Amino acid sequence: MVSLPQKIKILLVVAKTLNIHFPELLAIAVTQSRSRFFLKDQAFVSDQTQIESEKKMRYQQWRLLVLRSSHRSHLTYPSPCSQVTSISTRSLSSFIHIRSRVGALQQSEQLCPLRSPVTTSSGSLLNSVGLRSFSSEPAVEEKPSPEATVIDIFSRLNSEDEIRKELESSDVVISQDLALKVLRKLESNPDVAKMVFQWFKEATPEELSSKSYNMMLRVLGGNGLVAEFWGLVDAMKKKGHGLSANVRDNVGEKFQKDGLESDLVRLKKLFSSDCLDNSAENVCDKVCKIVMKEEWGDDVEKRVKDLNVEFQSDLVKMIVESLDVEPRKALLFFRWIDESGLFKHDEKTYNAVARVLGREKFLDRFQNIVEEMRSAGYEVEIETYVRVSTRFCQTKLIKDAVDLFEIAMVGSSTNKPTPHCLCLLLKKIVTAKSLDMDLFSRAVKAYTRNGNALTDSLLKSILKSLRSVDRVEQSNEVLKEMKKGGYVPSSDLQSMIASSLSRKGKKEEADEFVDFMEASGNNLDDKAMASLIEGYCASGELDEALVCFEKMVEKAGVSYADVAFEKLVLAYCNKNQARDAYKLLSAQVKQNQLKPRHSTYKILVTDLLKKKIARDGGFEEALSLLPIMKDHGYPPFLDPFMNYISTTGKSTEALGFLKAMTSKNFPSMSVVLRVFETMFKSARHSEAQDLLSLCPNYIRNNADVLELFNSMKPNESAVEKPLAASA
């Protein structure tokens, strides 16, 4: 038995290895041990009750440990000497197992930012850790946040084009807020953080905020990248940004730990000079504290004036944005500073307050500000459009989002919404509770008015959104509005629309689509027609599929009808109507000189030789296809015939197959030998003997044939030794 001192040593090693406080480890182990001894001593408790109680106590210990691992408490625990009475090694091993799972969770959270963070609720915590055994319900997969998506993309990709395409396909809207959120999550990953920072600095239409610069400084300084840290400090000073106290404290601690005394002194001097210089950040903090502390009034106005600050555009913009949590006070400050003569608003400050007010609760005030700034000759900046439009769409204010889009499209080229912005807006319109085609039309007109072109990728995204809300039948309405903007769908998009409509059994809409394309002077090509027919086949509408095929042949002939015809034949075969498919093929070949594909023949022959169909005349029809295949320049398709002969085919059918193989009396000797070998392998020796008796003399006397029959041993074959034909 392990002694008490030895157990304590073991716990110390485990605590150090797992990076957990020793008192916490000790308390949990003791609690588990005591619970087990308590249950053991209760003789009056039944075995079943004892088992259930022990499970419950263990579950409570697991839950307690997970909660402590996620949010470590700094409570003072009793001395080990007053706690230890008995520690079982079983408690220790159980704890190690639990701790390892928690460690795996923590490591998973660091390596996979796409996962949702662990919450403090016991239910979601247990699901995150993976304790599914306590619940029969499946885990719900949550959509990753925009910042998690950005981190994943930049962690996987290096090419700018790949990153740009991935961001667009993920519907991520580039903004300063997103940049800050991403950088905060990359504090321990400087390489990816640098890529993200550089990308956002180039992608955002306006300068990155002081907060983003300071967050990047924290990443660089906290990871020991001293040279890059000071380089970024110089760059941000040129842009008028100051160093925050948070960066000073965190990076200063790192410098001190690494023994970088000169850098530490330089950092402290830099922060002191920022404070003395009344940096924009410091002034902003002071003004916001005054405004936020109490209701707006003469006292607030006096205290702000007493700061004796010269209000510049960037400072006013910073203050208004910092008051985002209190839009009403942000607007009061915005109005007062202009009316008091301390500052005259420009495009930057108008857009700043517009971004703050751009939400459902302050919609009227937002519209007034936008109208006022346009009257003053200022534009809605792209940053303003992106942030407010996203907010409008999230709160179902689609009409207001379209209104804002129209206003933004009137601006200069640098402030105009991008194609990606249009795509997001149109997708929101078509997936709204009710599809408002007037809003769709307005957005398309606003975008194309200045010569912007609509693209296939845009329509593809819209069609995908329509399918997601089961509105495929309204594809034609979307297409008509896009045609007004000069757009004509490519062959691939035509195929996508045709297939979507016919698969849903939307015959009228499909016919309307075909008529629309013809009226536009762009008839559906063979690929799109094949998709239309395939869609009808998939929905079980074979009659409609056949009608479409006949129309296609009537209008364009059979030159490019082979793909569509194969889809039709395959659909008939899948419905166990191979004989009807045979009749259709024979008629099209005879009447319209259709040349089916080789693969079409293979599909049809294989299905005609299925046992039941073959017995009802399918075998003879399959044989009749062999000369047609030869006329079309295709080699004969032997495998299904061999399979049929080896299983259920009669000797007379095998003879018919051999004769149908060639225009002569009999095919080559290699084919004959293959038929006999196939029958022997399937133990159809009697049928092989019957077939041999029906063959011409030169076959029966062939040395290879005789050797094959003679090689069959008595225990392998029930056939008698074949006799040579009489002279």
Of 443-457, 629-643, 676-690, 707-721, give the range with the top mean pLDDT.
443-457
The pLDDT value recorded for residue 204 is: 66
Answer whether residue 403 shows pLDDT above 60. yes
C-alpha to C-alpha distance for 464 and 364, rounded to whole angstroms: 34
Answer whether residue 75 shows pLDDT above 80. no
Answer whether residue 701 shows pLDDT above 80. yes
Task: Go through the domains of the chain in sequence order and give each one's CATH number.
Answer: 4-134 (no CATH), 146-277 (1.25.40.10), 488-637 (1.25.40.10)
Rounded to two decimals, the pTM is 0.57
Q: What percent of the chain has pLDDT over 70?
A: 76
C-alpha to C-alpha distance for 357 and 367, rounded to whole angstroms: 9
Of 9-23, 178-192, 316-330, 617-631, give the range with the top mean pLDDT.
316-330
Contact 415, 450 (CB under 8 A): no
Per-residue confidence band for 428, with pLDDT thresholds at 50, 70 and 90: very high
Contact 477, 512 (CB under 8 A): no
The pLDDT value recorded for residue 108 is: 39
The pLDDT value recorded for residue 111 is: 36
Residue 455 has phi, psi (to 5 degrees) of: -125, 165
C-alpha to C-alpha distance for 452 and 444, rounded to whole angstroms: 10
C-alpha to C-alpha distance for 344 and 337, rounded to whole angstroms: 8
Q: How many C-beta atoms surround the C-beta of residue 376 within 10 A?
A: 12
The pLDDT value recorded for residue 288 is: 92
The pLDDT value recorded for residue 96 is: 39
Per-residue pLDDT tens digits for 342-398: 999 999 999 999 999 999 999 999 999 999 999 999 999 999 999 999 999 999 999
Average pLDDT over residues 314-341: 93
The pLDDT value recorded for residue 345 is: 95
Average pLDDT over residues 576-600: 91
CA distances from 603 to 197, 249, 596 (A): 57, 75, 11
**First vs last C-alpha separation in the chain:** 101
To which residue do tokens 């920022």 refer? 274
